[in-house]
Structures are given as structure tokens and as C-alpha cells.
Chain A
């Protein structure tokens, strides 16, 4: 990275890059401009994924910028990854809408508010517009071969995510109460987003395959840590308890013998009310069993593994500060 490019990038963070990404998303939505209602619905879906994509919320969220940051870290030219970064946000939003259709557990979701038909159509157009976004990379100086490779890679990640979602939807609750099975599942359907973002950024930076692999593995560990953080929030905020969602803290306590096991099995696996227990009592039980502590330790393990990769990269002369902030 040249000093000039580095200064330019540093000066732009954090809020201006959010704005630039917003402008790029607006460009991708241009084909819908003559249909106000449809465009508003698409924007509502995007807003649910990340409010910063639609308007300046003054709350900096670095996650959507991950491909830009990886690309800039490697080659000092984040512009090369801008269209792809916007396209990935559209794909993420489409996945969220499809997820809401499939899970039917959120009364504020697009399908809950507007019906499955409109929701499915909204998700579909987000996928199509994302594909158009990838083709805009040619205007950013990315060659056709790289564009094709990127589209192929992103589609492979999303195919894996769909396979993970299929497992999640089709497995009986007792089949995902083993930690290794659960970690494999969240690797497929959750961590893939950060993994794909890092792969995208590295590929567009023109990195060699070894470097792409390193950043991709970094993204995987980062994504796993983030999902476990979500699992912890899902328990402390009660959302996952209310939805009887089996996540890492529940799996930890389910593996214990005794009354806690029976209670959680009744509530999460057998989905009955053999034991009358409020969500707060279940949270209390999970905290006192060490489930939150254990989950935090697992999150730290993934963070350490991600950090190890960054430190290795730093030894080769790559500046890692922007990416290290994801691990704070």
C-alpha cells in the first residue's frame, strides 16, 4: 500500500465509507426506480439487514465493509471491492428475507408484514440486482476472469449456506444437540458470510491463492466468533429462549446430567411444557450452569485463531490494524 492511498483510506473511515457504500447500493437499486412501492419494499428489507445501507444512522458498523477492508489491507485500493461489497449486502438481505419466510418466527419480518409472495419476490430481486452488482466490477478495473471467478466463489458460498439451512430445517432437534454438529452447521449457514467477504476482498485485491486462503480462514474464525457472540446475546436477551432455538449455551447445558438437562430437554428438544419455567428462569439456569462462560471461552478461541492468522500476515509486511479491530 502506498502512503498516499493509506492516508486516503484512513481519512475516510468511518462514516464516509458508509456513505459511499450507500451510494453504491442506490446505484444497484436504480432499475427499480420507476416502481416506488417495490423499491420501498426492497429498501425496507435492506434496512432490516443493515439500517446504514439506506440512511446515515450515525452508528458506524464495520461489518458490511469487511470486503473493502480486506481489499485495502492487501492492495491499498478499496474501490476495487466497492461494487462487490454492495452486492454482498444485497445477497445478505435476500438471505435474511428467505430465512424469515422459512423460519416464520419474526412478526416484524417482511413475510410477516407483507405476505410470503411479496417477500419471495423481494428476495428474488435482491439476488438478481446483486448479480448485476458483480458485473459492475469491470468498471472498477477488475478483469473478466476475476469477475467470473468471484461470482462462482460467492455462489458456492451461498450454495453451502443453503445446504446448512436445509440441515437446520430438516434435522430433528436432538440431532443438533452435539457440539461438533452444531459448530459445523453454523460454519455453513452463518460464518460463511464473513468467510465469503474476506475471500471476496482478497480475490479482488489480486492476492495469490495462499494469501486468499489465509484471509478466508481468518474470515471463517471471525464469523464463528461473531455467531457465538450472537448465541450469547440470544440467551441474555431471551430471544433464542423464547424461540426455543438450540444454540451453543443450550447444547453445553444439555450435555450435563441432572435436573438442568431434563428441563432444557423438555423445553428445547421435546418442545413440551413438562417443566413450567419462564424464559428468565431458563436464562438463569444457563448462566449458573456455566453455559455463558463456556460460550465466551469458545468465542475467544475463535478470536485467537483469527488473530494468529493476522499476526502471521503482519510478519509478511501486511498492515492488519483495520482488521484487528474486528477482534476487539
Chain B
């Protein structure tokens, strides 16, 4: 499941300040410029709603992923 468009979207958001601002203000408007699957779009929007954009000091990082996983 190689997802070039999804990779490109994330790269654009993190490398282009204008795109980042647009994404924060209106994620759908940025998503519409990329050929993402419905599942990918939903995951991007869900991630944005739950965690926002992750930066270095992001508090969300500590809650983004479970730490009680002894299986893996």
C-alpha cells in the first residue's frame, strides 16, 4: 500500500507555510488538490481533529499512540 499522494500531501503541508496555514484553516480545501482515497481522506481529517499538526514539542504525541502494547 504505497501512498505517494498521501506522502506528497504531508510533505507539502510541512514544507510550505502557505499550504500549512490553509490546511489548518480549511483541511478539505487542501485535500481536494490531491488524489487521495476516501479512507486516506478520512484518516487525514481524523488525525487533524484528534492531534492537530504534530510539532516537536507537541503534547499530542504522548496521547497519539498507546504505550501499553506488550505484544509488539
Contact = CB atoms under 8 A, between A and B. Distances in A.
A244 B11 CA distance: 23
A305 interface: yes
B36 to A, nearest CB: 10
Given A288-B14, A294-B7, A296-B64, A301 B39 contact: yes
Contacts of A255: 7
B66 A297 contact: no
A180 B6 contact: no
A321 to B, nearest CB: 18
B5 to A, nearest CB: 12
Contact of A304 (B14, B15, B42, B65): B42
Interface string B60-72: 0100111111111
Interface residues of B, number: 33
Contacts of A59: 68
B6 to A, nearest CB: 7
A63 B68 contact: yes
A60 to B, nearest CB: 8
Contact of A183 (B1, B14, B15, B54): B1
A294 to B, nearest CB: 4
A299 B65 contact: yes
B44 A64 contact: no
A49 interface: yes
Given A296-B47, A301-B43, A223 B14 contact: no
Interface in B14-72: 14-15, 39-40, 42-44, 46-47, 51, 53-56, 58, 61, 64-72
A24 to B, nearest CB: 17
A194 B7 contact: no
B56 A284 contact: yes
B14 A232 contact: no
B68 A232 contact: no
Interface residues of A, number: 45
A85 B40 CA distance: 34
A226 B71 contact: yes
A50 interface: yes
A64 B14 contact: no
Interface string A286-298: 0111101110111
Given A180-B1, A301-B40, A305-B39, A293 B54 contact: yes
27 contacts: A61-B68, A61-B70, A63-B69, A63-B70, A66-B71, A179-B3, A193-B72, A194-B71, A229-B64, A230-B72, A232-B64, A232-B65, A233-B65, A255-B7, A287-B54, A287-B55, A287-B58, A288-B14, A290-B14, A290-B15, A293-B53, A297-B10, A297-B43, A297-B47, A301-B39, A304-B42, A305-B39
Interface of A: 49-50, 59, 61-64, 66, 92, 178-180, 183, 190, 193-194, 197, 223, 226-227, 229-230, 232-233, 236, 252, 255-256, 283-284, 287-290, 292-294, 296-301, 304-305
